[in-house]
Amino acid sequence: MQGETGKKKRFDRDFKISTVKMVTDGGHKISEVARSLGIHANQIYSWKRKFSDSGEKAFPGKGHLTEISALRRKLREVEMERDILKKAVGIFSKPTDNGLNS
């Protein structure tokens, strides 16, 4: 949705959740809520779908924070695996003294 200045309107998390709850808990029609708030009904349908899919984790903020946190978690796992492999290489590459040099 674009405003008069050509910039995309941004709505904060609380606004989105309260709008969805007006429809789900308040019993209002989406078209009525959209008209009263000055937004398109499709926007509310989208918010409602995201809220029903993710619950309280919906609308995390700017960007794809859930994606970023999943990638950070995966990065930590891969770094741990790398560190374990480095230690294993160090252990198995040490020369052993099994009495053959005597």
Domain parsing of the chain, residue ranges: 1-59, 62-93
Mean pLDDT of 29-35: 93
pLDDT at 11 over 50: yes
pLDDT digits (tens, 9 = 90+) for 42-99: 999 999 998 888 877 788 766 556 777 888 999 999 999 999 999 999 888 887 766 5
C-alpha span between 7 and 20 (Å, rounded):
24
Confidence of residue 12 (pLDDT cuts 50, 70, 90): confident
The hierarchical CATH code for the domain 1-59 is 1.10.10
8: Cβ contacts below 8 Å, ≥ 6 apart: 1, 2
> Can you say whether the dihedral through the CA atoms of 28, 29, 34, 36 is positive or negative?
negative
